[in-house]
Structure 1
Amino acid sequence: RVVASAARLAVRTLMWPVSLLLLSASAQQQFAVVNLIRHGERNNNHSDIHLTHEGRHRAAYIARCVGEARHRTMAFPLGPPTKLLASERPGSATKKASNRPIETLEPLSAKMGIPLDLLHFKDINEFDNYVHSMQPGSTLLVSWQHKKIAKLAASVDPGGLSPDRWPYECNFTQWSEPGYTTEVEDAIDNCYDVIWQLLLWRASPTDRWRTRVFSMMHMGFGGTADAP
């Protein structure tokens, strides 16, 4: 699950520093979490703006695993998400639309009763402002186009802890992406299972949030909504 197997792979050793950091923080210091994910699976039909069959299953899997969690996990060290955000990408004469980021989090939004906020997929400044409006102790789950995620992370990570691009491949051995996910313009660029986690910190309410710890983990999606 997102709340269990996701965290098992890449951040087992990183969670100790995160936990120690939270425990050792002074009363004045404040923390929040931002989890960034790529929208669910797409196919090579550019006119199709929606999730594929597997993408819909991934969205349902996220809703089940995250929406039913009642405790802190490595993926959600401050507790389940308190805010949900997705990108919106309207079409134009030269650009194709995409509804996939929204569809990825809609089931979770419905399950948890949390509104799904929307921002234009290119508006990095507005994303930065959105993050800086977060309350201490809150967790934001974000679904976006993968080519923009590194820029989102960098907007609150002046120290450069996060990578400068989304990974080409997830290197997740429990399930292989369908062949159609590699038949797009990016050739081998089919990593959908990764979560980028930013542990945000600020010294006081008047300071801006800044990334203190970056972690990367897997959701653990196995191809179906009821995957373990």
Structure 2
Amino acid sequence: MTEGTRASGSPGLGIADTLLALGQSCLDRGEGDRAVAWFRSAARGGDARAITMLGRCHERGWGVPADPCRAAAHYRKAADLGDGWAMFNLADLHCRGIGVPADDEVAYRLYAASASKGNAKALNMLGLFHESGRAVPADGNSARALFRAAAESGDCWGRFNHARMLLQDGSEEEALIWFRRALDSGFPDFYRGMAAALAPHPNPRIRALAAQAGALAGLRGAGTPE
């Protein structure tokens, strides 16, 4: 990093880093319009992370009208600049056919490129593709390896899917360990999904984990089951 990219008064902190931090702070306070202004300022300098965040704002409707087509355009530009999160987000759009044509093969390639940048969430998505046979032949062993890699890299869904496969393979004690680790790294939508998936399980220890996930998600009636 050259001196010309450092923020005045912030040794070691680049101007783009500062603008991104200001934008994120505005998002955290629910000030989407101000966040967009900061991200645009950083994007003018060609910062791929800022371009990705503009895409995220257009995808989610943060400070601007929701527009998945514009989101995809921003993600594509940032992906071309090498941003792993832009690759992941564009893959998600292709996976769902939102703002771009539904295309599993394109999504798979983008997830793979994102994973090569160290994105654990992309590893988990690749695991799902290999498990279900989307874009590639179904391959349980490859799915297991990818879920494990995502789990060991800290992704909550990777931990959940790794645990799910262990449970399927009869390794219940190890599965319980990874389900508990998933509870330590999730977010509300994840907890809701985990609770719904595990609640019907006949094992009371698994159902207890579902209840914990439900409590973390704020679901009603999420007490420890009998």
Shorter-chain TM-score bucket reads under 0.3
Q: Flag the structure with higher helix content.
A: 2
- TM normalised by structure 2 equals 0.25
**Greater Rg by CA:** 2
